[in-house]
Chain A
Amino acid sequence: MSDKITFTIDGKECTGKKGQTIVEAAKENGVYIPVLCHYDGLKPAGACRICTVRVGGRNMAACTTPIANDIVVQNNIPELEDMRKAIVEMLFVEGNHMCPTCEKSGNCELQALGYRYLMMAPRFPYLWPTKQVDASIPKLYIDRNRCILCLRCHRGVTTKDGKHIFGPVKRGDRTMITADPELAAGMTDKQAQQAMDICPVGALLKKEVGFVVPVGKRKYDQKPIGSEIQGN
């Protein structure tokens, strides 16, 4: 039995390997599906829902749904695109995102998606939540104002023996990321940089450095998000 799987996304014939998710297979076929909580190599979380596609008429998160032969995936359709934009807008109103002063500006995936979806003002009223900054970790800040709870740090930043350095506490709209103080204190410079890189926004910021690459010359200042997959 072959491991090759064929299916379509918006009518385009795609091929992939058994065990791949729709997001992974789409990427290999040059089809961009927006993602935010997804990070190559990490177990998918299905948290942000921006990758929602329609499979056989049902809404599914493309980052957690495996491909199967002959499935018909709808991706770039107006109704879904508007709801994806709504997700970006929800993230902007449930946090306090001050792009112009943020160290991640230009490298921030949320900001890049805001541009991609031509978000002007969010359709939802701002919630202006009060969030706490945790500066107790020697090498990092956790700025929860900017956190989108994608759980990438929870999944991707661990000690050598696999303990979570970061994790979610509380629930609902009070959910927030916190760190194990002892484990976080043991982080090396390299690990702190990795944590900052794994964070799609500016919620994990390395201390004592900033703006090494000037705003205007950063990743998404050059090319919009998604162009690395779909070209142009």
Chain B
Amino acid sequence: MGKEADTVVKKAVKNHGGDATCLLDIIRDVQDAMGCVSDEAVLQIARQLGISTTDVEGVVTFYHFFSKKPVGKYSVYLNNSAVAVMKGRAAVAKAFEQGARCKFGSVSSDGVIGLFDTSCIGMNDQEPAAIINGAVFTNLTPEKAKDLVEAMKAGKDVNKMVKDLGDGQNQSALVKSMVNNNIQKKGQVLFAPFEGGSALKKAVSMNPAGVIDEMKKSNLRGRGGAGFPAGMKWSFCRDAAGKKKYVICNADEGEPGTFKDRVILTELPHMLFEGMALAGYAIGSDEGILYLRAEYAYLKDYLENVLAGLRKKKMLGKDAGGKKGFSFDISIKLGAGAYVCGEESALIESAEGKRGAPRNRPPFPAQYGYMGKPTIVNNVETYCTATRIILEGGEWYAKMGTAQSKGTKLLSVSGDCKKPGIYEVEFGMTIQTLLEECDGRPAVAVQVGGPSGNCVGKKDFGRRICFDDLATGGSIIVIGSNTDLLEVVHNFMDFFVEESCGWCVPCRAGNVILRNKLEKIMHGNGTMADLKELEDWCLIVKSMSRCGLGQTSPNPIYTTLKNFRELYEAKVKKDVEYSTEFDLAAAVEDSCKYAGRKPQLGEHS
């Protein structure tokens, strides 16, 4: 065992040039070869890289897809997002457990099948879905789960378990996935015809400042959710001191319910890479990095091939786009399962091979980013949009949308609606119109912007999707009357507890405290005073947390307390001022069992 670890680690470290900033890649190689990253492997990696074991173990244990214990010959990561639950996850999970004869969170006794929960994998339009050894399986049913278990027991190649391929490039030889694009509505920015190379050629015919000017004229705001003006970000970075600069694309869409970047990566990668290249030209960078979430690793070979094609066409590499003296190339870095890495500074830390904890700011990435160099980090959709803006002009773009939100937005619509999928719509569309288009009319609530966003009820369906009103990074979850909204809220709080990086106190402890209080109320032990406390405590976590995760993680509770207060009030005891969550019967159960008597709870029962 020790010898094997030694050989595997040596090879992995060598493959990545003994570079500690490639720690995630090294760990991934070791995990793939050995099925886990044992204590011995941690020690070997640390010693060979000349760093502390705590640095290595810190990374191994931070990311969901790395494990110190064996995860099975086949590792089933079954999505546990709220929409997966709506679509019948429980029955599918049960079928996996019965077939594999082990519970979720463990590995079958023969070591063949490991079952694990996982946060939203970007397949909300085709749930329940799971990732097995990197391959995605969608629209699962108990029967399909049973078949998969049989195939795993028979030792079948996971790619051969994929039967029907999805549409579009999902059929490409390098993808061969059953994932469907579900493009429901095409707009004129992302899904209008695009001639590869045209935008970069146009950009390099302008001067870099001119490119940034067009971006500023367009008023394009970042599409990941935060909405920072992209042109401004680019100009800060262009003006920052230093020769070496980086263009990073954030393809770590982890907000439950968003999957639009998956579709862009599948169908519009040329547009994305061209956007990155012209951004490189604008800010004076020669190096781009696509940070791809581990859940989308099934697209990596395909994307590498697209990049190779662009190099061949001289759109990347030396004299890119035919511009003498402008070099630009793009590499892909894989994540390893951490929602918080969608936060730009956490993403940079992760790309540098560290734990994905956000940085303190200032300094901002535009001054001090990847490897300490000025860096822009933009969303997949933002770069694609930039490509169109350079082609059509900033003014053309700014004619669409609302006062504060120009252009179109790609929405990922899922949940209780008949037409889940992606919709490219002009900013300013009302929730009601969207519900009509996706056939989600019986909706009682809509979660706009994912768990970190806003949960609105019928009275707000006239409100508009835009930064001026209801902002969203793209996630729209329709919640019908058959779904228990408080269960959804609870699912979202579980998600934040799981995904908090643990760096700051309010987010680390506060989210657990909020979830527990929610449970107290859901179990019928709450009082009106608990509702008041719940609201106050949400504000503490929102006000004191260090990054966007903790500043928004109370939102599932906070916005439903505001918009669906009656659901909470129906659960609380109105006639008592105080109610303990302490369950006396449960607390004395074990001791009574051993003492061989029944609990005598008297007035406490």
Contacts and interface: CB of A to CB of B under 8 A. Distances in A.
Asked whether A and B interact, the reply is yes
Interface in B465-511: 497-506, 508-511
B504 A171 contact: no
Interface string B54-78: 1101100110000000000000000
Interface string A87-115: 10011011000000000000000000000
A169 B58 contact: yes
B570 interface: no
A170 to B, nearest CB: 5
B52 interface: yes
Interface string B243-266: 000000000000000000000000
Interface stretch (B27-35, B127-135, B541-549): B541-549
A164 B54 contact: yes
Interface in A166-223: 166-175, 178-183
B500 A168 contact: no
A87 B506 contact: yes
A34 interface: no
B105 interface: no
Given A170-B502, A173-B512, A86 B540 contact: yes
A178 B62 CA distance: 13
B512 to A, nearest CB: 5
Nearest to A148: B505
A48 B511 CA distance: 15
A59 B53 CA distance: 36
B508 A46 contact: no
Contacts of A171: 61-62, 338, 355, 500-502
B510 A179 contact: no
A172 B508 contact: yes
Given A123-B533, A165-B52, A46 B360 contact: yes
Residue among B502, B510, B533, B546 with most chain A CB within 10 A: B502
B483 to A, nearest CB: 26
B159 interface: no
Contacts of B355: 168, 171
A87 B505 CA distance: 7
Interface residues of B, number: 42
Residue among B54, B338, B533, B581 with most chain A CB within 10 A: B54
Contacts of A93: 509, 513
Contact of A164 (B52, B338, B502): B52
B161 interface: no
Chain B at the A interface: SS class: helix
B512 A94 contact: yes
Interface residues of A, number: 47
A30 interface: no
A149 B544 contact: no
Given A87-B544, A180-B52, A49 B512 contact: no
Contacts of B193: none
Contacts of B362: 65-66
Contacts of B537: 86, 124
A140 interface: no
A84 to B, nearest CB: 8
A64 B505 CA distance: 16
Given A173-B500, A183-B52, A178 B546 contact: no
Contact of B543 (A83, A164, A178): A83
A178 B360 contact: no
B544 A49 contact: yes
A133 interface: no
Nearest to A122: B513
A89 to B, nearest CB: 9
Residue among B62, B513, B545 with most chain A CB within 10 A: B513
Given A87-B505, A94-B512, A172-B499, A52 B54 contact: no
B62 A181 contact: no
Nearest to B356: A171
A181 B53 contact: yes
B360 A175 contact: no
A46 B500 contact: no
Contacts of A14: none
A127 B58 contact: no
Contacts of A175: 501-503, 508
A50 B53 CA distance: 30
25 contacts: A46-B360, A47-B503, A47-B546, A48-B505, A50-B505, A52-B543, A52-B544, A64-B360, A65-B362, A83-B544, A90-B505, A90-B513, A94-B512, A123-B533, A127-B512, A127-B513, A148-B505, A149-B505, A170-B502, A171-B62, A171-B338, A172-B500, A172-B501, A173-B502, A175-B503
Given A61-B546, A171-B355, 17 more contacts: A49-B504, A49-B506, A49-B544, A49-B545, A86-B540, A90-B505, A90-B509, A91-B505, A125-B581, A148-B505, A164-B52, A169-B62, A171-B501, A173-B508, A173-B512, A174-B502, A180-B46
Which 5 pairs from chain A and chain B are nearest by CB?
A167-B54, A175-B502, A64-B360, A94-B509, A90-B509
Interface of A: 44-50, 52, 59, 61, 64-66, 83, 86-87, 90-91, 93-94, 123-125, 127, 148-149, 151, 154, 163-175, 178-183
Interface of B: 46, 50-55, 57-58, 61-62, 338, 355, 360-362, 497-506, 508-513, 516-517, 533, 537, 540, 543-546, 581
